[in-house]
């Protein structure tokens, strides 16, 4: 059956359709006639894949890998150190819950909080703004994490004339950079990419066209239901077989080609992509979102002298070296390959970032029994 008909009839969880999709994927991969790897770059996708055991319905010759898909996981230790140092220096640091236990080189914001520093978990950047209004004597620093979908919210607040005691410590990350870093890694052998639907709501799927053209690899934008993901994989394998490095959108109920233009304008008024380190990976070209000169007055890095030396710890950095998060995010290893997985590194006391957030791959594998790839059960 033509894949197009399946997409149009997508009803998200219908087992009959799931089977049809799975069979169609099997045919495509058989026609390819070799072992192929595809990558998704989204924590929400990994959750759905692990939860519904989707890897079990894929042909053995198709490897589905999770790339650097969580902005919390790729936030670098020294970036967390900056926030911890600010909190220790007396600022009121506000951030999303995901960031609280994320280890810096030695300590997390939760550690600083336990020692008496003012650290607030907020659900939205607008709550950080309210805290700044409520505590005019405090310097309120919002540690802004997340990909562009989340950075847009930070930008909206920056544009709305925040109070003088409010500033932003940006560790926002940029999704297209995550795919570049994988595509350019000499060891990876990814033949197609599944792009995250939520980021694409803002940027539009058109943003992936230069990537597809440059790398010669197809990209499919997918939603978060099992059938969304299977449909995306089918579309991807079709494009791979046809040798077409195109971008396809199988999430039209949320994503358009242009995306949300007004949001993009806000985003690029306040932020610009700069090169920076991602945890466990490397320098990532244009991977971080920094405040533009026009908004430098809101930049905590410009407003304060941040001294991270008291909160760093070279020894702890050394211990974290057993963590192979970086290789996992590049698709070169999986959590089972890490000697610390489920032993020294568990959700209650994470060694690496991938065990911290609910969308980190180690955390997800740990939660779903350590072997979400059911094909490997019993082997």
Partner 1 sequence: MCLGVPGKVLAIDGMSATVDFFGVRKELRLDIVDEPVSVGDYVLNHVGFAIRRIPPDEVQETLALFDQILDVSGAKADLMAADVRGEIAAAKHKE
Entry field: residues in the chain: 379
345 in contact with ligand SF4 (CB under 6 A): yes
Q: Which residue has the tokens 């951030």?
A: 95
18 binds, among partner 1, ligand SF4, none (CB under 5 to 8 A by kind): none
355 binds, among ligand SF4, partner 1, none (CB under 5 to 8 A by kind): ligand SF4
- Contact segment (CB under 6 A) with ligand SF4 among 69-77, 127-135, 214-222, 283-291 equals 69-77
- Least spacing, CB of residue 159 vs ligand SF4, in Å: 23
Which three-class secondary structure state does DSSP give residue 2? coil
- Give the interface with partner 1 as residue ranges (CB under 8 A): 11-13, 42-44, 47-48, 51, 70-72, 96-98, 123-127, 145-147, 149-150, 152-153, 155-156, 159-160, 196, 198, 201-202, 224-225, 253-254, 260-263, 266, 358-359, 363-364, 367-368
36 is written with which tokens? 């192929």
Which of 184, 180, 192 is closest to 64 using CA atoms? Answer: 192
Which of 88, 91, 131 is closest to 111 using CA atoms? Answer: 88
148 in contact with ligand SF4 (CB under 6 A): no
- Least spacing, CB of residue 266 vs partner 1, in Å: 6
Q: Please identify, using beta-carbon distances, which residue of 91 and 267 lies nearer to partner 1.
A: 267
Question: Using the rule CB under 6 A, which residue among 26, 59, 71, 245 binds ligand SF4?
Answer: 71
- Least spacing, CB of residue 172 vs partner 1, in Å: 12
149 binds, among ligand SF4, partner 1, none (CB under 5 to 8 A by kind): partner 1
Backbone angles phi, psi at 285, to 5 degrees: -65, 125
Question: Using the rule CB under 6 A, which residue among 81, 354, 364, 373 binds ligand SF4?
Answer: 354
324 in contact with ligand SF4 (CB under 6 A): yes
341 binds, among ligand SF4, partner 1, none (CB under 5 to 8 A by kind): ligand SF4
Q: Can you state the percent helix, strand and coil of the chain, rounding each to 5?
A: 45, 20, 35
Q: Which residues contact 277 (CB under 8 A, 6 or more apart)?
A: 76, 78, 283, 284
Q: Please identify, using beta-carbon distances, which residue of 219 and 355 lies nearer to ligand SF4.
A: 355
3 DSSP assignment: H
Contacts (CB under 6 A) with ligand SF4, residues 88-147: 98, 146
367 binds, among partner 1, ligand SF4, none (CB under 5 to 8 A by kind): partner 1
33: buried, middle or exposed (CB in 10 Å: 19+, 13-18, 0-12)?
exposed
92 beta partners: 140
Q: Please identify, using beta-carbon distances, which residue of 139 and 359 lies nearer to partner 1.
A: 359
Contacts (CB under 6 A) with ligand SF4, residues 12-51: 43
351 binds, among partner 1, ligand SF4, none (CB under 5 to 8 A by kind): ligand SF4
- CA–CA–CA angle 366, 313, 334 (5° rounding): 25
- Least spacing, CB of residue 166 vs ligand SF4, in Å: 22
Looking only at the bridges linking them, the beta strands covering 282-291 and 166-173 are antiparallel
364 binds, among partner 1, ligand SF4, none (CB under 5 to 8 A by kind): partner 1
Distances 115 to 84, 90, 121, 168 between C-alpha atoms, Å: 11, 12, 16, 23
Q: Which residue has the tokens 């909190």?
A: 87
Distances 28 to 22, 36, 195 between C-alpha atoms, Å: 10, 11, 20
253 binds, among ligand SF4, partner 1, none (CB under 5 to 8 A by kind): partner 1
105 binds, among partner 1, ligand SF4, none (CB under 5 to 8 A by kind): none
Which three-class secondary structure state does DSSP give residue 111? helix
Q: Which residue has the tokens 């080189």?
A: 105
Q: Please identify, using beta-carbon distances, which residue of 346 and 374 lies nearer to ligand SF4.
A: 346
CA distance 188 to 60: 19
| CA contacts within 13 A on the Cβ side of 235 | 26
Which residue ranges make up the site for ligand SF4 (CB under 6 A)?
43, 70-72, 98, 146, 323-325, 328, 335, 338, 340-341, 345, 351-352, 354-355, 357-359, 362
């Amino acid at each position: 059956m033509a894949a197009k008909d399946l997409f149009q009839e997508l009803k998200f969880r219908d087992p009959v359709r799931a089977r049809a999709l799975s069979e169609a994927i099997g045919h495509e991969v058989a026609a390819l006639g070799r072992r192929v790897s595809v990558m998704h770059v989204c924590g929400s996708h990994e959750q759905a894949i692990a939860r519904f055991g989707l890897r079990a319905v894929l042909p053995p010759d198709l490897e589905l890998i999770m790339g650097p898909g969580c902005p919390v996981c790729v936030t670098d230790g020294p970036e967390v150190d900056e926030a911890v140092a600010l909190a220790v220096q007396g600022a009121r640091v506000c951030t999303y819950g995901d960031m609280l236990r994320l280890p810096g080189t030695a300590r997390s914001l939760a550690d600083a909080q336990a020692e008496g520093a003012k650290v607030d978990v907020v659900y939205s950047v607008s709550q950080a703004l309210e805290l700044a209004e409520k505590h005019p004597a405090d310097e309120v620093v919002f540690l802004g994490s997340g990909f562009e979908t989340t950075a847009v919210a930070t930008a909206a607040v920056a544009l709305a004339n925040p109070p003088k005691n409010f500033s932003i410590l940006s560790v926002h990350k940029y999704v297209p950079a995550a795919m570049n870093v994988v595509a350019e890694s000499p060891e990876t052998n990814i033949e197609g990419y599944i792009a995250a639907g939520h980021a694409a709501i803002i940027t539009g799927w058109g943003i992936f066209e230069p990537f597809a053209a440059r790398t010669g690899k197809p990209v499919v934008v997918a939603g978060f239901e099992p059938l969304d993901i299977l449909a995306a994989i089918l579309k991807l394998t079709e494009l791979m077989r046809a040798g077409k490095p195109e971008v396809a959108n199988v999430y039209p109920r949320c994503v358009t080609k242009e995306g949300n233009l007004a949001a993009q304008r806000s985003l690029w008024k306040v932020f610009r992509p700069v090169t920076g380190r991602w945890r466990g990976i490397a320098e990532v070209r244009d991977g971080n979102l920094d405040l533009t000169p026009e908004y430098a007055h809101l930049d905590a890095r410009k407003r304060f002298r941040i001294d991270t030396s008291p909160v760093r710890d070279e020894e702890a950095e050394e211990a974290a070296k057993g963590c192979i998060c970086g290789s996992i995010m590049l698709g070169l290893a999986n959590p089972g390959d890490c000697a610390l997985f489920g032993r020294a590194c568990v959700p209650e006391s994470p060694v690496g970032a991938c065990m911290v957030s609910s969308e980190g791959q180690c955390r997800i594998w740990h939660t779903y029994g350590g072997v979400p790839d059911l094909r490997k059960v019993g082997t």
